[in-house]
Structure 1
Amino acid sequence: MNIIIDNIKTNYVVEGEGETILMLHGWGSNLMPFQPLIKHLSNYYKVYALDLPGFGQSEEPNTPWCVDDFVHFIISFTKQMGITDAILIGHSFGGECIIKLANIPTLPFQINKIILMGSAGIRHPKTMKQKMKIRMFKLGKWFLKLKPIQLLYPDALEQFQSKSGSADYRLATPLMRQSFVKVINEILDESYFTNIKPSTLLIWGENDTATPLCDGQYMEKTIPDAGLVTIKNAGHYVFLDQAFTVHKVIDSFLNIKE
């Protein structure tokens, strides 16, 4: 289904009846990978999932966004859907948005519980190799932005950017690349985690390389009411790699009895 939220055409799904669950996907993804989990949980809850702006079938924002812009958009979505309280489930970047939502004292809806799967939000110090790669990338961008070079090779900068950086950066449109840079440059200090009040379930794939298991271990230590479940033989998309196990873990946390 499509709806206009803050002047952005937004794709979303809603399935089931009962208490509300809101699911937020990761960067570079969309609501589709959530489908098996949506199908499972919609037997017991009213489940909402949306494509965040710039992903899936939702339109891009007009300007590059930071994390707070996505958070404010999510709040607008809940208002338009009439959501007054919800269980929040987030994967990767969606989890980072939930962490920020949980730190807003005037949030217009109540967070009942939180489930974070391979959540983003922790930035690790860059290695010397990574720092050198960034410097070379910036130097290349500076050179290709020079007017004489742009006149001679008008497509060179776009081609250079599309072959550089992480997969999330390379696969993004020029505007979403700028958003990506804003997002990854934001650092959440410890207070963002210690301020989370709702009971929180952390689900991590033991082989997650995008948001390593140590991130989940850190969140378990710093979020007051948190428990970490490590899933074997699973990576960043833990809810797809080991769907049956993840569903059972979530059922236990939500007290679902079949």
Structure 2
Amino acid sequence: MKAAIVNNLAVEYIDEGKGPILFLLHGWGDNLHTFDSLLAKLSASFRVVRLDLPGFGGSEAPEESWGVEEYAYFVKSFIEKLGIPSYIIIGHSFGGRIAIKGVGIGLLKPQKVVLISAAGLATNRKVRNQLLRLIAKIGKIALFPFSSDVKERLRLKLYRKVGGEDYIHAGALKETFLRVIGEDLSPAAQKINIPALLIWGEKDTATPLLNGKRLEELIPDSTLEVLEGAGHFVHQEKTDSVAALIQAFISQ
């Protein structure tokens, strides 16, 4: 494990292997170790760089709330810090969200992009996200008469009812989480003008396959690969298949 100071934040990262550079971005509430099994399949042929994004794993959290664009700016600064000349970006879930935004607005300039169960589109989860933001705003007022312990239990119950587990576990990043889920990245996806590989688990419920199909429509030069029986962590559940898809995509 290595450490660096980037934009006044201490971050941890791993840089290993030799060859074309793969830059990996993990999902929300996760860390760089989500790619351990995938790395074992790729590091023999590639130099693989992966970091704990600010606020996750061993990296410092920003003092203020961030949106997706702030994370994309940070990734850009990190890449410049390491002096990486050219790379292929691979993002899972929230990491895919950062990749879509960064590439779409021209902040990140990879040769190709791989999106694994990427988040960021306003589909059927839009109502859930609106409810999360509403609960966060009015929760303290609505639960005012109750004791602190009772209030906490009631709020957790409300969040779980709308599928807000990520928000529950966001800790100091709650405001950042609300900013992140509040942005529809469809416009950014339409501006991606490099080859894109989309990898999805057939049974993904966190970012349903509908998102992958929609991204394939939005990104001009994109291909969607669906792996049967896999869920949101398809890169862990079907590591061999995901690695093979990535290698074939890069060699094209």
Fold match by TM threshold 0.5: yes
Write the deviation string for residues 138-164 of structure 1: whole angstroms up to 9, x where unpaired: 4432245x6xx6xx9466666655554
Whole-Å Cα distance in 2 between the matches of residues 2 and 240 of structure 1? 25
User: Where do 1:34-49 residues align within 5 Å?
Assistant: 34-49=35-50
Q: What secondary structure sits across from 1:77 in the alignment? A: helix
What residue ranges of structure 2 are gaps of 5+ in the alignment?
Answer: none
Mapped contact 2:139–2:155 kept (Cα < 8 A): no
User: Where do 1:209-248 residues align within 5 Å?
Assistant: 209-248=205-244
Describe the shift of the 1:47–1:178 C-alpha distance in structure 2 as closer, same or farther (beyond 3 A).
Answer: same
Write the deviation string for residues 228-255 of structure 1: whole angstroms up to 9, x where unpaired: 0000110000011111111111121122
Mapped contact 1:161–1:170 kept (Cα < 8 A): no
Q: What secondary structure sits across from 1:59 in the alignment? A: coil
Partner in structure 2 of residue 94 of structure 1 = 95
Whole-Å Cα distance in 2 between the matches of residues 77 and 177 of structure 1? 24
Tell me how far 1:220 sits from its aligned partner: 1.0
TM-score (norm 1): 0.87
Q: Give 2:120's aligned amino acid.
A: G
Mapped contact 2:100–2:185 kept (Cα < 8 A): no
Aligned length: 247
Q: Give 2:115's aligned amino acid.
A: L
Larger Rg: 1
RMSD after superposition: 2.5
Partner in structure 2 of residue 180 of structure 1 = 177
Tell me how far 1:137 sits from its aligned partner: 6.0
Partner in structure 2 of residue 57 of structure 1 = 58
Partner in structure 2 of residue 170 of structure 1 = 168
Q: Give 1:180's aligned amino acid.
A: F
Tell me how far 1:194 sits from its aligned partner: 2.0
Mapped contact 2:104–2:190 kept (Cα < 8 A): no
Partner in structure 1 of residue 31 of structure 2 = 30
Mapped contact 1:233–1:242 kept (Cα < 8 A): no
TM-score (norm 2): 0.89
User: Where do 1:1-258 residues align within 5 Å?
Assistant: 1-105=2-106, 107=107, 110-125=109-124, 138-144=137-143, 153=147, 161-162=155-156, 164-165=158-159, 166-173=164-171, 175-189=172-186, 191-255=187-251
What residue ranges of structure 1 are gaps of 5+ in the alignment?
Answer: none
Mapped contact 2:105–2:188 kept (Cα < 8 A): no
Write the deviation string for residues 176-204 of structure 1: whole angstroms up to 9, x where unpaired: 01110111111223x32221111110000
Whole-Å Cα distance in 2 between the matches of residues 45 and 129 of structure 1? 39
Q: Percent identity among equivalent residues?
A: 37
Tell me how far 1:8 sits from its aligned partner: 1.0
Higher relative contact order (CA 8 A, sep 6+): 2
